C-alpha cells in the first residue's frame, strides 16, 4: 500500500532490484509523494490498472517482460495510456533512445540516477500532465492558432499556380480542409516529402528530412497526441525547445500546442514529412540503426570518456539511487578503455581466471600482452555486465559466446570496439575487445618494403587485371597494406569497390561496404553485387571459403584488378592452399599477379636504442638464420670491427620496454612466367620457394635479418614472428 502524503500524487515504481525500490520509496516519500512498488513488470501492470497512479518509474532490463513490453501494454490500454512513464535504465544509447520514444515513454533517466535529476524529471512530467488534462477537459479549441486561416488559402492558390491542375482537381484542391492537406498528395500525384518541402518553402520553415532521435525531448508532448497529430518536441542548436510537425495549417493542433506550451510567433517550428515522423514511432531494429548511424554509440558514454575520472568521482557525492558499485564499475570501465587507447593497445583482454583470484585486464601493445589491471573478483560480474550492456548483448546469457560492438569518443576521435564474450570453466566469461581506431591509409613507400619488394609491389599495382593476395595471421597488417595499394591507384577515372569486416580505414573515392554475415551479406554475396556495379578494382577483405575464392578468380579473369587476404604462413604456402581449396592450377596461374606474406615485429625505440658491436657467434647465427648460401649474393654486411647492431634499453617514451611501434617484414612472390609455369606443373612449396629465391625473393626471415642490420629491430623480435 502506498504511503499517504499531502500532495495526493501517487507514483508507481517498477524494478526487479529490491534495494533500488527501497531507495526510490524513501526519496519520493520524503519529497511528498505517495509511492506504490512492484517487483516485476506484470505486477506493475496490475498495480497501474488498479491504482491509476499519476506517474510510473519503470526499469528497462527485467526478467520476463522488459520495460519496453510493459510500456507498450500501458500505452495500448485505455485505462493507463495517459499515465506518463519514465524509464530508469543504463541503456542510454541512440537505439534505445529511439525505442523508448517508439513505445510511448514520457522520458528516461540514465543510471546511475541522481536524486535531483529524478525529482526534476518527475516534476516536469506532472506539470505537463496537468496542463494536458485541463486541455482535454475543455469542450473545444476556440482561440486562433499561430497561423491566420487565410494563410492556408494562399498556400492552396500557390499550389494551383505551381502544378496547373485540371478543373476537376482544382475544385477538389480548393475544397480541401487544412487538416487534410496531405490527403491530396495522391490526387495530384506528388510524394508526401515533396508536399512537405512546398509547405516549408511557402512558410519559410526549416525542413528536416531525417529526425535525429538523440535530439528528441521525450514526454514534452503526450505520446498518443504526438503520434496521432504527427508532432514531436526537440532541442534545437541553441539548446532551446522547438517542434517538428508535418502540418502547421491544422488549427486544432496549433491551438493545442499554444495552450500546452504558451507558444509564440517566434517559437521555432520545423517541417517534416508525415512518414518521417511516423518512423520515430516504430521500434527500431538495433542492428539496422547501428549500421545506419555508422555505429555511433551513445552520447552519454562519449561524454564520460571525454572527462577525467576525478570528475566522475566528484559527481558521485550526490545521492545515487542505484547500487554504489554501479558508478564505480562505469568509471573503471571508462578508465580501462581510455588507458588502453592511450597505450596504443590493439586489444583488451578481460581474463576471469581461477575462483578467488583477481580479475585480470591485459593490453596487447605492439603485439605483446601485458598486465594492466588486477581487479577484485567481486567487481567481475559488474564489469562484464557493463561491457555487455554498451555492446547490446544479452547480460543474462552466460553459456554461449556472444559478439558485439560499440563506439565511443576519446579525445574527439571516434573509436570502435569489437567485443567477443566467451564462456569458460567455473561459470566464468572472458572478454576480448579489439580496438579499431579509424585511420588513414599509409603511403606504400612508408610500409617498410625493401627496394626489391617495393619495385615488385609497384609492378603488381600497375597491372590492369589479376589477383594480388596479402597473407599472414590475424593482426599482421594485411588490411593496412591493401589500403596502401588502393590509395596508390585511387584516381577519379578508376572505380574501386571494397567489402570489409570491419571497415577500419576510410578513403575518399572508394565505395566501401561493411559485410554482415548474420543477415547473409557475406564476402561472396558482396562480390557478386560488385560485379554488377561496373568496377575496375575490387578489394575483398578475406577469402574465407571456396565460393569467395572462385568468384575472386573469375573477377580477375574478366578484366578486374582484385585484392584480397588469406590466413597462410608464407607466400609459397598460399599457392598450395588455394589449389587445395579446389581451384584449378591453370585458373590460378593465369589470374595471380603476386602474393605478399607479412608479419609485424616490434620496432626498437628510436629514443633509447643502444648501439653495440656483436660477437662473431651472434653474427654467424644471424647469417645462418638468413640462409648463408644467399647472404653474400644478397649483399649482407660482412663481419668487421665497424659492424654495429642495436638493442633495447628503455625510456619514458617506450614505457621502459625498449620498443615502440612495429615494422612489417615481407615476403613477395611476383608471378613471373617461370612461377606461373611452376604452378601449372608442380605446385610444390619447396620447388616454388627455390624458383622465387632465384628470381630475387627474400623470405620473411631474410627481410627480418636485413632490418636487424639496419638497426630497426633485433633478433629476438624477428625470430618471434618468423618461422
Give the model confidence (pLDDT) of 471-522 as tens digits. 999 888 898 999 999 999 999 899 999 998 878 788 888 999 988 777 778 8
- Counting every residue written for the chain, the total comes to 723
**Whole-structure pTM value:** 0.54
Cα(42)–Cα(70) distance, rounded to whole angstroms?
Answer: 8
* Closest to 480 measured CA to CA, from 345, 596, 364: 596
Percentage of residues in the chain with pLDDT exceeding 70? 84
* ∠ CA 230-236-237, rounded to 5°: 155
Work out whether strand 561-566 and strand 537-540 pair parallel, antiparallel, or are unpaired: parallel
Instruction: Report the chain's C-alpha Rg in angstroms.
Output: 33
312 pLDDT higher than 70? no
pLDDT tens track for 37-48: 998 888 999 999
End-to-end, the C-alpha distance of the chain in Å comes to 73
- Let me know: does 292 contact 212? Beta carbons within 8 Å: no
Q: What's the mean pLDDT in 109-117?
A: 78
92 pLDDT higher than 70? no
- Range from 209-223, 332-346, 656-670 carrying the lowest mean pLDDT: 209-223
Q: How far is CA 404 from CA 140, 379, 407, 418, 617, in A?
A: 52, 22, 11, 6, 51
- Let me know: does 108 contact 97? Beta carbons within 8 Å: yes
- Range from 307-316, 513-522, 603-612 carrying the lowest mean pLDDT: 307-316
Per-residue pLDDT band at 713 (split at 50, 70, 90): very high
> How is residue 653 annotated by DSSP?
G
The DSSP result for 649-663, as a single string, is: ---GGGTTSSEEEEE
Per-residue pLDDT band at 182 (split at 50, 70, 90): confident
Amino acid at each position: 500500500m502506498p504511503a499517504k502524503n499531502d500532495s495526493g500524487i501517487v507514483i508507481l515504481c517498477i524494478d526487479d532490484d529490491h534495494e533500488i525500490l527501497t531507495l526510490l520509496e524513501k526519496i519520493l516519500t520524503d519529497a511528498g509523494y505517495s509511492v506504490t512498488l512492484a517487483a516485476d513488470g506484470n505486477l506493475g501492470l496490475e498495480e497501474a490498472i488498479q491504482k491509476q497512479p499519476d506517474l510510473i518509474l519503470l526499469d528497462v532490463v527485467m526478467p520476463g517482460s522488459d520495460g519496453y513490453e510493459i510500456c507498450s501494454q500501458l500505452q495500448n490500454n485505455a485505462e493507463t495510456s495517459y499515465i506518463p512513464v519514465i524509464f530508469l535504465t543504463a541503456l542510454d544509447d541512440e537505439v534505445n533512445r529511439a525505442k523508448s520514444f517508439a513505445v510511448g515513454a514520457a522520458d528516461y533517466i540514465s543510471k546511475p540516477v541522481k536524486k535531483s535529476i529524478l525529482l526534476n524529471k518527475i516534476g516536469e512530467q506532472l506539470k505537463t500532465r496537468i496542463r494536458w488534462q485541463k486541455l482535454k477537459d475543455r469542450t473545444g479549441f476556440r482561440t486562433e492558432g499561430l497561423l491566420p486561416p487565410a494563410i492556408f488559402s494562399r498556400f492552396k492558390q500557390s499550389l494551383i499556380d505551381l502544378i496547373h491542375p485540371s478543373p476537376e482537381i482544382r475544385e477538389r484542391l480548393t475544397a480541401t480542409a487544412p487538416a487534410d492537406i496531405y490527403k491530396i498528395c495522391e490526387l495530384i500525384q506528388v510524394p508526401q516529402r515533396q508536399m512537405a518541402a512546398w509547405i516549408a518553402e511557402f512558410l519559410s520553415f526549416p525542413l528536416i528530412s531525417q529526425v535525429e532521435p538523440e535530439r528528441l525531448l521525450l514526454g514534452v508532448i503526450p505520446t498518443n497526441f504526438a503520434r496521432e497529430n504527427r508532432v514531436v518536441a526537440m532541442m534545437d542548436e541553441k539548446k532551446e525547445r522547438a517542434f517538428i510537425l508535418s502540418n502547421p495549417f491544422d488549427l486544432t493542433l496549433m491551438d493545442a500546442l499554444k495552450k500546452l506550451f504558451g507558444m509564440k510567433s517566434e517559437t521555432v517550428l520545423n517541417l517534416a514529412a508525415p512518414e518521417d515522423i511516423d518512423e520515430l514511432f516504430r521500434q527500431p531494429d538495433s542492428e539496422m540503426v547501428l549500421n545506419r548511424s555508422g555505429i555511433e554509440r551513445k552520447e552519454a558514454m562519449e561524454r564520460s570518456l571525454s572527462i577525467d575520472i576525478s570528475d566522475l568521482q566528484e559527481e558521485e557525492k550526490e545521492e545515487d539511487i542505484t547500487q554504489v558499485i554501479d558508478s564505480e564499475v562505469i568509471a573503471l570501465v571508462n578508465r580501462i578503455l581510455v588507458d588502453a587507447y592511450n597505450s596504443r593497445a590493439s586489444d583488451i583482454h578481460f581474463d576471469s581466471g581461477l575462483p578467488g583470484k583477481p580479475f585480470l585486464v591485459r593490453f596487447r601493445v605492439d603485439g605483446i600482452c601485458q598486465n594492466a589491471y588486477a581487479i577484485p573478483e567481486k567487481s567481475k560480474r559488474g564489469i562484464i555486465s557493463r561491457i555487455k550492456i554498451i555492446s547490446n548483448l544479452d547480460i543474462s546469457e552466460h553459456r554461449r559466446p556472444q559478439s558485439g560492438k560499440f563506439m565511443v569518443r576519446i579525445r574527439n576521435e571516434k573509436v570502435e570496439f569489437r567485443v567477443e564474450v566467451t564462456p569458460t570453466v567455473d561459470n566464468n566469461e572472458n572478454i576480448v575487445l579489439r580496438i579499431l581506431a579509424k585511420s588513414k591509409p599509409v603511403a606504400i613507400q612508408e610500409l617498410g618494403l625493401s627496394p626489391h619488394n617495393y619495385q615488385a609491389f609497384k609492378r603488381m599495382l600497375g597491372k590492369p587485371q589479376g589477383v594480388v593476395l596479402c597473407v599472414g595471421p590475424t593482426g599482421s597488417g594485411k588490411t593496412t597494406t591493401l589500403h596502401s595499394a588502393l590509395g596508390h591507384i585511387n584516381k577519379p577515372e578508376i572505380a574501386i569497390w571494397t567489402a570489409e569486416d570491419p571497415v577500419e580505414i576510410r578513403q575518399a573515392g572508394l565505395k566501401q561496404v561493411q559485410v554482415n554475415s548474420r543477415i547473409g551479406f557475406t564476402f561472396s554475396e558482396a562480390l557478386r553485387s560488385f560485379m554488377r556495379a561496373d568496377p575496375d578494382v575490387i578489394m575483398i577483405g578475406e577469402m574465407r571459403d571456396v565460393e569467395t575464392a572462385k568468384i575472386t578468380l573469375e573477377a580477375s579473369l574478366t578484366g578486374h584488378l582484385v585484392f584480397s587476404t588469406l590466413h597462410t604462413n608464407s607466400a609459397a604456402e598460399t599457392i598450395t592452399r588455394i589449389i587445395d581449396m579446389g581451384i584449378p592450377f591453370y585458373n590460378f596461374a593465369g589470374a595471380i599477379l603476386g602474393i605478399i606474406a607479412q608479419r609485424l615485429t616490434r620496432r626498437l625505440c628510436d629514443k633509447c636504442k643502444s648501439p653495440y658491436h656483436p660477437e662473431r657467434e651472434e653474427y654467424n647465427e644471424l647469417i645462418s638464420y638468413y640462409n648463408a648460401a644467399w647472404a653474400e649474393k644478397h649483399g649482407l654486411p660482412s663481419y668487421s670491427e665497424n659492424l654495429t647492431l642495436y638493442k633495447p634499453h628503455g625510456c619514458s617514451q617506450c614505457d621502459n620496454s625498449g620498443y615502440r611501434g612495429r615494422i612489417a617484414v615481407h615476403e613477395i612472390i611476383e608471378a613471373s612466367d617461370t612461377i606461373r609455369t611452376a604452378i601449372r606443373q608442380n605446385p610444390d612449396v619447396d620447388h616454388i620457394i627455390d624458383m622465387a629465391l632465384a628470381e630475387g625473393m627474400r623470405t620473411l626471415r631474410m627481410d627480418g635479418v636485413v632490418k636487424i642490420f639496419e638497426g630497426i629491430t633485433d633478433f629476438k623480435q624477428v625470430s618471434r614472428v618468423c618461422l
